[in-house]
Structure 1
Amino acid sequence: MSPLTAPAGAVRQGSLRELNLALVLGRIAAADRPPSRADLAAATGLTRATVSAVVEDLIAGRLVTEAEPAPRAGAGRPARGLVLAGHGAAGLGLEINVDYLAVCVVDLAGRVRHRTVHRADLRPVAPADALARLVELAGRARADAAREDLVLAGAALAVPGLVDAAGVVRLAPNLGWREVPVPALLAGHPALTERIDGVPALVVDNEANLAALGELHAGPPGPTSFLHISGEVGIGAGIVLDGALFRGTRGWSGEIGHIPVRPEGRECRCGGRGCLEQYAGQEAILAAAGLAGADLPADTATARLAELAGAGDPAALRALHDAGSALGVAVASVVNLLDLDTVVLGGGYARLAPWLRPPVLAEISRRVLTAAWSPVTVRAAALGAEAAATGAAGSVVRRIVARPSGWLARTG
């Protein structure tokens, strides 16, 4: 019987079950200690019988497991708490950037179970070939996940560029990509292109957006509104407002790297002049510090730059100060516009934050109208350079938590 001809009561009953599954699983995911079935009944308003039935479905679907009860004083058996399962469903995070590929697997509880980073300059590589390399890394991650009793529930791919709703990369200037149909290029890899419960197994998104989501959900609860800046060869930003990613009308917000900080300055790959990337991008900083010809992988060169700055090297300190000042000019414009009180330095900036932070704060103090009454916090990202791939994988498992009925239908 199709949904169009099913009795209304059956549809309502199915919808009620979906709501109850999401409600209970969401409470378990958000709890600061493992809640018991009784705790869940009290928190949700559902009957204990309903909660027990829902919990049994979640346990059978390997979304929830019972934790050992905490010791208690007094008579009676302590109630078992419930936690998100560390086996079963997991998310696959993928990232293509200018000078590396990254793959990450995160389980439902948010733990990273696999991570691979492959360093290579991808600018001379055709998009199809770069994606093929990434698929090979994803296959290894899938095999590792299976050995740990994990089933990948989908994947998210982070790309440093403008991505439309269909997953087409409209423009990634630092990669040299334009109008790249990523889903079509991956059509020969069903594990990444099949649809799961009506949702594409692979979602393509901007890397700064996924990095911001990774930071939002990393560790203890922090600010729910902030600007996350990913500092790589290119510079992108993810804007989080009241706990939600702000995407803009077409989903292309956050291109802070192309804010002109010197309108008549250096030419940029985007076609403009004086863009922030030309003064505070990774390659620009390394060149200013005299490390451009060091023939080192980018992460090693960044580590060397931090080492030199820590030792007081004048060229390194000057390069970081100038980059931080340029970054501060762009950040101040965003803070003035959106009234944010937290700026997170991610990607390669996380390691360089001790030297970038002072000039960024100086420009904020000088240029933000409200700085005297509402100080802005500037800090390093908790996830650092791993944020985009981790955030991508986390976005997959959060979809399961938001709608567990789809996963249960697939595995039931």
Structure 2
Amino acid sequence: MRRRNLALVLCAVAEHSPLSRADVAGRVGLTRAAVSSLVDELIGRGAVTEAAATASGRVGRPGRALAVSGEGPAGLGLEVGVTHLGACVVDLRGDPRVWRRVERANAGRPAGQVLAEVAALAAEAEAEAATLGLRVQGRILAVPGVVPNESGAVVERAPNLGWQGVRLADHWPDPDTVPEPENEANLGALAEYWNTEQTAETFVHVSAETGVGAALVIEGRLFRGARGFAGELGHIPVHPDGPDCACGARGCLEQYAGEAAVLREAGLAQHGPARAALAEPGDPVSLLAEHAGAGHAPTLAALDRAGRALGLALTSAVDLIDPDSLVLGGAYAELAEWLLPSVRAELADRVTVRPWAPEALRPSALGRRGPVLGAAQTTIRRIMADPTLLPAG
């Protein structure tokens, strides 16, 4: 009961601060004495601060304003992408305070080597956070792969990295700081839900880098499926007789709307492995946006082809799940100007069993920062739900 009441008080302060202790008591329906005791504990755990007395407009002594602490507890989000590593630290208010992104070609590299570099990046981010008065309470790692429910920190399959059955603890230098892995698409969807006011309670979040991933949020809760495999939109066949996919099937969405496929179709990739080398220097997504903005016909045609394939796959998601909205995240958000027309056209033609409005499909404002931000904020959400996760002062 005390754990529940601590969360009740902390959430009230987070949502409505500045509040006095009396204000909190009025909002949560507890006695002033009970609230005062709970506030004292939250202050001792570093979750809440109490400012100097301020006038409240009521008769009596002015109250002292409570607020969620901008120092102390923090969450660390980490990310392994096919082309980059990332880190983000957020404070207890959910505000990003530290950002790190390092370009790395991670496909095919040994998992131990990649994770050692992530651990070094994490240490740098934590050191900078410490200079801001923040102490990391939890670590989540976003990965472009499958993380089964109750996995014990195992990435079962990340085909675009070349990972299979990777147990993080076997490669992490400090056993006390091993992060908890989670699928990057899931974390991107949670970041969208937590940070964007217009996000509906039930939506599909689809994003892309080398692969294509999706996450389902149903009535405000992430749907992971029976074993954690939900959201493999990239391996829905959009053309059954299409090219072979790395997953072993044929004609998957990734072969039409994945980054490598779009680059090849646009003539911006050299011949080579599945993740083709760029024919021009630069970030792949920025390169596509630059050429599309300049009216480069092959790039525009490639993005139109990708959008039509994506719309075809999303039609199945709409008919099966009945979401309020669809959100394009990650690289798709940055290419939305050229993808949206063809995706919307496919949805308009194919979604016939229920009403569907064009504005129900929109790009994310978070872009490629979504997964690492969602990873960092996951720890904060857990603390808000259970402040006893923080050490007592």
Report the TM-score when normalising by structure 2.
Answer: 0.92
Aligned match for 1:259, one of 222, 236, 251: 236
2:76 alignment counterpart: 92
Q: Equivalents in 2 of 1:297, 1:83: separation in Å?
A: 47
* Residue 106 of structure 2 corresponds to residue 129 of structure 1: no
In 2, distance between residues paired with 1:221 and 1:41?
Answer: 30
- How has the CA–CA distance of structure 1 residues 231 and 180 changed in structure 2, closer, same or farther, with 3 Å as cutoff? same
- The residue that corresponds to 1:170 in the other structure is 156
Q: CA deviation at 1:297?
A: 6.3
1:1-400 aligned at under 5 Å gives the runs 16-29=1-14, 31-66=15-50, 79-164=63-148, 165=150, 166-186=152-172, 188-193=173-178, 202-220=179-197, 222-293=199-270, 294-295=278-279, 300-372=283-355, 377-400=360-383
| Displacement of 1:72 | 6.7
Alpha-carbon distance, 1:349 to partner: 0.8
Distance in 2, matches of 1:302 and 1:122, equals 17
Whichever residue aligns with residue 141 of structure 2, its letter is: L
Q: Does the CA-based 8 Å contact 2:201-2:324 persist in structure 1?
A: no
Q: How far apart are residue 365 of structure 1 and its match?
A: 1.1
* Residue aligned with 2:195, SS: coil
SS at match of 2:362: strand
How far off is 1:70 after superposition?
Answer: 7.8
Cα distance, 1:78 vs. partner? 5.0
Deviates more, 1:307-316 or 1:65-74: 65-74
CA–CA separation in structure 2 for the residues paired with 1:207 and 1:104: 14
The amino acid that maps onto 1:128 is G
SS in 1 for 2:335: helix
Deviation at 1:74, TM superposition (A): 8.0
**1:401 maps to what in 2?**
384
Any idea what SS the aligned residue of 1:162 has?
coil
Structure 1: give runs of 5+ residues left out of the alignment.
1-15, 194-201
1:26 maps to a residue whose letter is: C
Is the Cα contact below 8 Å between 1:119 and 1:297 reproduced in 2?
no
CA contact 2:44–2:392 (8 Å) conserved in 1? no
Any idea what SS the aligned residue of 1:292 has? coil
Q: 1:21 to 1:311 in 2, by over 3 A?
A: same
- Could you give the per-residue CA deviations for residues 59-95 of structure 1, whole angstroms, max 9, x where no partner exists? 2222112367887768766544432211000001011
Q: How far did residue 286 of structure 1 move?
A: 1.6
**Aligned-residue offset at 1:252:** 1.3
Alignment partners' CA distance in 1, 2:89 and 2:290: 31
- How many residue pairs align between the two structures? 384
Could you tell which deviates more after superposition, 166-175 or 84-93? 166-175
Q: Which runs of 5+ in 2 are unaligned?
A: 271-277
Give the Å deviation of 1:376.
5.9
* Alpha-carbon RMSD: 2.0
The AA in structure 1 aligned to 2:137 is A
Partner Cα separation in structure 2 for residue 40 and residue 270 of structure 1: 53
Q: TM-score scaled by structure 1?
A: 0.88
Q: Percent identity?
A: 47
Asked if the contact 2:91–2:134 (Cα under 8 Å) also holds between the matched residues in 1, the reply is yes
